[in-house]
Amino acid sequence: MTDYLYYLVCRDKAFARQLRRIMGFYPRKVEIYREALMHRSLNHYRPQEQKKDNERLEYLGDAVIETIVSDILYHHFPKKKEGFLTSMRSKIVQRSSLNRLAKETGLVELVQSTHINRTHNSFISGNAFEAFVGAIYLDRGFDHCYRFFEERLMGKHINLAKVAQEDDNHKSKLIEWSQKTQYKVDFELVDEKTVGTNSPTFRSRVRVEGVEFGTGFGYSKKESQQLAAKEALRHIRKKSELYKSAVAQYEARMAEAASAAAEDDSPRTQSEEKPDENVLIAPNPVQE
């Protein structure tokens, strides 16, 4: 049976057309794509026997995406070493990139979740994208997954040349800047909690010379620190009022350190050099 015949017998033709616009081909088992776009937050309102979500498909899609991206990078960069390829793959498959792909392809509009999760959980779109690829794999096989990436994503939504130039480790860049300039940078975990049935959430703060430069919210401590560092770097680049405050704190700290060092190196006064009169000095031993 051809793809179009599958479409003709499909009961949910509107959904099948939406999927075709995203994938470039018709689905055969529409119900598996429904499951891929179903977030677990919906289970809160369902009886036990009806509970269903996309977490298993997410697990499968994650492995398929890594394999496809690894293969594409291996052939696209024939002279690059393992470290470069690993870094490139990490940038493409990281949660923020998958969130963006879900949004730009229109997949995010098909995701089903509660309102609170849509508002607060930054992982929903990326997780759904992984589950969606898992659904394609089960429905049409690995070749169609590869075709989806090659024909619908590469070039249009994933620019390998641009990705190769990106350096998105904001925390590392901030620490490197602090080491060069001798400015004090501190990261602090402000809050860690769980909202409803969501995953744990983290909020981190970064201070430069004691001045709060940024906060970051994420679903891992690392993500929250990266976002806080990103905000801090923005203040540094723009030389904002916060940056000027940090400069003043830095200069005051340096002046205090210089003053303390000068006191330690100053010559001793006469009063300091004169021996205490109350201290008994032993006479010279008698020479026999």
Domain that residue 230 falls in: 170-262
Q: Looking at the structure, tell me whether residues 178 and 218 fall in a common domain.
A: yes
Choose the catalytic residue: 35, 49, 58, 130: 130
Q: Does 176 reside within a domain?
A: yes
Instruction: Say what the pTM is.
Output: 0.63
Choose the catalytic residue: 62, 139, 209, 223: 62
Q: Does 14 reside within a domain?
A: yes
The pLDDT tens digits for 92-151 are 998 889 999 999 999 999 998 775 444 445 678 999 999 999 999 999 999 999 999 999
* pLDDT for position 285: 43
User: How many structural domains compose the chain?
Assistant: 2
Residue numbers in the chain where pLDDT is lower than 70: 1, 4-9, 42-51, 115-122, 195-199, 265-288
Let me know how long the chain is.
Answer: 288
Q: Does 272 reside within a domain?
A: no
The pLDDT tens digits for 34-52 are 999 988 776 556 555 556 7
CB atoms within 10 A of CB 89: 18
Is residue 62 among the annotated active site residues?
yes
CATH number for 161 = 1.10.1520.10
Is residue 3 among the annotated active site residues?
no
Q: Looking at the structure, tell me whether residues 207 and 223 fall in a common domain.
A: yes
Last residue within a domain, chosen from 137, 165, 193: 165
Determine phi and psi for 282, rounding to 5 degrees: -65, 135
* pLDDT for position 279: 43
- Whose tokens are 């680049």? That residue is 237
* pLDDT for position 253: 92
Residue 114, CA distances (Å) to 117, 118, 126, 197 in order:
5, 6, 16, 11
* pLDDT for position 120: 45
CB atoms within 10 A of CB 150: 13
CATH number for 246 = 3.30.160.20
Q: Looking at the structure, tell me whether residues 86 and 55 fall in a common domain.
A: yes
* pLDDT for position 57: 96
